[in-house]
């Protein structure tokens, strides 16, 4: 019996779901990082954020992310904060490559990459380094709750769709923010009554293309706008690849509607570079 296009997409999604070992490897480093930063810089709290923790990560692609809320007076420049954290961790882990990738400090351990997002608490949220310049306010706990609520509304589909769009990003080397893709996917499904795998994959991609990957308002109404790309050149590259993706996703759902599963799967394979 011919495999359906939806079954093929489900299989791909399962294939790129992170394994338990990915979680374990990253979390093994948490305690030593937390002790080091608390001892030398002072911490209010450290907690896990990002796609691995939140259930939208991609196998062998997503890092473990932790937000660290620092004590003390917030410096004028986020670069001061980032360099303090980088230097403190580099001294603790001299054989590990430690770099700054705004808004995070990345520790590239031999068994896992761990991203530390330094922050200062403020008015219910956190001030972190803006990827472009200056400071930005973020509310990761509220953002996760928003995605969780939409996900519950659609019986797990919001996180499934977010993971699929991220799989496309990584397999097609699209220079667009994973957080942006996740929030756009959740916002799309928040406005839908029912979920249909191929239709919603196409619609989510098409909506992002229609707005030209423009920054989106925080759907919780709390934080700063979510930017899509780190530069104009990356945005042009991402838009070009997104245009192709929209065309292939549309053909995949149209062929599926017409009962032509093999042709639908062919388009999905092109979409995800399989």
Q: What is the pLDDT of residues 129-168, one digit of tens each?
A: 887 678 888 888 888 888 889 999 999 999 999 999 999 9
CATH number at residue 68: 3.30.460.10
Tens of pLDDT along 106-128?
999 988 888 899 999 987 889 99
Q: What's the structural domain count of the chain?
A: 2
Domain of residue 106, residue span: 20-137
104/219 same-domain check: no
Instruction: Assign 3 a pLDDT band (cuts: 50, 70, 90).
Output: confident
Structure tokens at 215: 């920054």
Round to whole Å and give the CA distance between 65 and 53. 8
Give the pLDDT of residue 1.
53
Among 137, 164, 192, which residue terminates a domain? 137
The answer on pLDDT for 252 being more than 80 is yes
Question: 184 vs 37, 198, 267, CA distance in Å?
Answer: 33, 16, 23
Beta-bridge partner residues of 104: 101
Among 79, 104, 137, which residue terminates a domain? 137
The answer on pLDDT for 253 being more than 70 is yes
13/123 same-domain check: no
Residue-wise DSSP of 117-180: EEEEEETTEEEEE-SSSSEEEE-HHHHHHHHHHHHHHTTTHHHHHHHHHHHHHHHTT--S-HHH
State the first-to-last Cα distance of the chain, in angstroms, to the nearest integer.
21
Among 137, 156, 173, which residue terminates a domain? 137
More confident residue, 48 or 120: 120
């Amino acid at each position: 019996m011919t495999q359906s296009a939806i079954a093929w997409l489900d299989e791909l999604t399962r294939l790129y779901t992170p394994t338990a070992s990915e979680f374990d490897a990253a979390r093994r480093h948490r305690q030593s990082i937390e002790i080091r930063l608390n001892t030398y810089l002072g911490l209010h709290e450290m907690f896990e954020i990002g796609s691995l923790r939140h259930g939208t990560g991609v196998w062998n692609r997503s890092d473990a992310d932790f937000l660290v809320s620092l004590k003390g007076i917030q410096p004028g420049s986020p670069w001061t904060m980032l360099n303090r954290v980088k230097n403190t961790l580099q001294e603790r882990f001299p054989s590990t490559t430690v770099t700054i990738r705004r808004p995070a400090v990345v520790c590239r351990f031999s068994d896992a990459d761990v991203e530390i997002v330094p922050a200062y608490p403020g008015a219910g949220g956190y001030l972190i380094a803006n990827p472009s310049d200056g400071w930005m306010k973020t509310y990761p706990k509220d953002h996760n709750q928003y995605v969780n609520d939409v996900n519950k509304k659609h019986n797990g589909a919001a996180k499934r769709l977010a993971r699929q769009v991220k799989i496309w990003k990584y397999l097609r080397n699209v220079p667009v923010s994973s957080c942006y893709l996740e929030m756009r996917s959740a916002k799309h499904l928040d406005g839908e009554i029912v979920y249909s795998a191929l239709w919603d994959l196409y619609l989510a991609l098409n909506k992002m293309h229609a707005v030209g990957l423009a920054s989106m308002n925080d759907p919780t109404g709390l934080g700063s706008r979510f930017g899509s790309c780190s530069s104009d050149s990356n945005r042009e590259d991402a838009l070009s690849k997104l245009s192709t993706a929209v065309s292939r996703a549309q053909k995949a759902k149209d062929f599926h509607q017409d009962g032509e599963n093999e042709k639908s799967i062919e388009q999905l394979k092109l979409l995800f570079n399989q």
